[in-house]
Amino acid sequence: MSARSGLIFEELADKAVRAPARHFGSQLGKAPRLPRPRPETTLRILMEKVVIIGSGCAGLTAALYAARANLQPLVLTGTQPGGLLTTTSIVENYPGFPDGVGGYELMERMQKQAERFGARVKFGTLEAADLSQQPFVLTVDGEPLETETVIIASGAGHRHLGLESETKLENKGVTYCATCDGALPIFRNQPLVVVGGGDSACEEALYLTRFGSMVYLVHRRDALRASKIVADRALSNPKIKPVWDSVVTEILDVKQDKVTGVRLKNVKTDAESMLGCAGVFIAIGHVPNTQFFKGQIAMDDAGYIIPKKGAATNVPGVFVAGDCADPVYRQAITAAGMGCAAAIEAERYLTGLGK
Ligand code: NAP
């Protein structure tokens, strides 16, 4: 998805810069052969009307609406094109798909739909943002990019337990995505641990029952936070065993450089225990990806951007959509709705400027 998108953007940018050379060539008979600009150079030359940071449900819906408003939005994918939903196996609650739809497929469809109307999706990572003056200047993969409006749809990343052993064993049996890693040979027919009590943890546990010999769902309380339908499905699965009132205090074994188990503490009794497993899947919620806007945009203590009048922010010309501004609903469909609102607001803002 990303490579294709990047190519499309570079082609467009390249055409925009080369157009004058063709024009002169036709007047003078022979076109002077200008050096072909490198794609990085074109990023610096173009002034964008709308740059959308993030390519999840919020970002791609904003792209669809902005593209249909003829604003040729540029979408920066970030490191995870399609956003977190691409790591979900099946999405059952997105309207219009009575049999559910794969997370990756849904995002691919959204991208195609936005591109059909002129959105450009570029594989690029934001490194810095200066929103203090117009035009806004974004640094993307080392290059400055100027834009009249910004739609922040940067989503949220996985929350970590914060254990040293977690960091040391990441990708060595510790993971944050069952859909991405669950089928790895190291997890096959082995006991596995999922940490968390929300919808994500339950869905991860259910998915892992396909591979593990047993899935232990370690939760810090004695009731799941997950929606009833998902919680019931998880708790009635014979291969899922809940471990209530417990937190992981250490993941073993750093010395062996692989996961062999977890050390648990019962938060009610303080009793410690060990549980052998080959994998630890952490699904304890998310942290908004808003660090680049800290100090420039109003946000709450947890880092969620505080929207103003729908999709606006405290900075005129900067709009926000999706999980980076939503600590409450965090659904694909609510993110898409916010993306739509942000694009409509961006269009109205530009119209107000006479653009
Ligand atoms: P979540 O609903 O915030 O749940 C996070 C879980 O992790 C909670 O059970 C929480 O415990 C636990 N937790 C948080 N910090 C922890 C820590 N430091 N140590 C141990 N446990 C910790 O997150 P989510 O499950 O990722 O869901 C996010 C949103 O996406 C929700 O709105 C959810 O409904 C939605 N979602 C929906 C679906 C679906 O509809 N199919 C699928 C996935 C996600 P407490 O319960 O004690 O707070």
Give tens-digit pLDDT for 259-276.
999 999 999 999 999 999
- Given the CA of residue 247, which atom of ligand 1 is nearest to it? 20
Residue 292 predicted with pLDDT over 90: yes
Determine how β-strand 272-276 pairs with β-strand 261-266.
antiparallel
What the block records as the tokens of 292 is: 């680049």
Q: Is 277 a catalytic residue?
A: no
Q: What is the pLDDT of residues 183-206, one digit of tens each?
A: 999 999 999 999 999 999 999 999
Distances (CA, A) of 91 to 167, 202, 204: 29, 14, 13
Residue 14 predicted with pLDDT over 80: no
**pLDDT of the residue at 179:** 82
**pLDDT of the residue at 87:** 78
Q: Do the domains at 2-157+287-352 and 160-282 have one common CATH topology? A: yes
User: Does ligand 1 come within 6 angstroms of the Cβ of 220?
Assistant: yes
With beta carbons less than 8 A apart as the criterion, state whether 63 and 114 touch.
yes
Architecture of domain 160-282: 3-Layer(bba) Sandwich (3.50)
With beta carbons less than 8 A apart as the criterion, state whether 122 and 76 touch.
yes
What residue ranges do the domains of the chain occupy? 2-157+287-352, 160-282
How far does residue 197's CA lie from ligand 1's centre (Å)? 6
Instruction: Pick the residue whose CA is nearest to atom 39 on ligand 1.
Output: 199
Architecture of domain 2-157+287-352: 3-Layer(bba) Sandwich (3.50)
**pLDDT of the residue at 46:** 66
Q: What is the pLDDT of residues 21-54, one digit of tens each?
A: 222 222 222 333 434 444 444 444 469 999 999 9
User: Does ligand 1 come within 6 angstroms of the Cβ of 199?
Assistant: yes
Q: Is 177 a catalytic residue?
A: yes
Q: Look at the alpha carbons of 304, 310, 311, 312 in this order and tell me if their dihedral is positive or negative.
A: negative
Q: What is the pLDDT of residues 51-93, one digit of tens each?
A: 999 999 999 999 999 999 999 999 999 989 999 888 777 888 8
Q: What is the pLDDT of residues 201-240, one digit of tens each?
A: 999 999 999 999 999 999 999 999 999 999 999 999 999 9
Selection from 331, 353, 351 nearest residue 343 by Cα: 351
**pLDDT of the residue at 303:** 96
With beta carbons less than 8 A apart as the criterion, state whether 153 and 322 touch.
yes
With beta carbons less than 8 A apart as the criterion, state whether 337 and 325 touch.
no
* Phi, psi (rounded to 5 degrees) for 100: 80, 170
Give percent above pLDDT 70 in the chain: 87
Residues 6 or more apart in contact with residue 241 via CB below 8 angstroms:
214, 215, 216, 217
Measured distance CA(208)–CA(202) in Å, rounded: 10
**pLDDT of the residue at 311:** 97
Instruction: Pick the residue whose CA is nearest to atom 37 on ligand 1.
Output: 199
3-state secondary structure of 306: coil
**pLDDT of the residue at 255:** 97
- Of residues 154 and 42, more confidence is placed in 154
Neighbours of 137 (CB within 10 A): 15
Selection from 285, 246, 287, 292 nearest residue 269 by Cα: 246
Residue type, position 165, single letter: S
- Given the CA of residue 285, which atom of ligand 1 is nearest to it? 23
User: Does ligand 1 come within 6 angstroms of the Cβ of 166?
Assistant: no
Supply the pTM of this predicted model.
Answer: 0.75
Instruction: Pick the residue whose CA is nearest to atom 19 on ligand 1.
Output: 161
- Average pLDDT (343-349) is 98
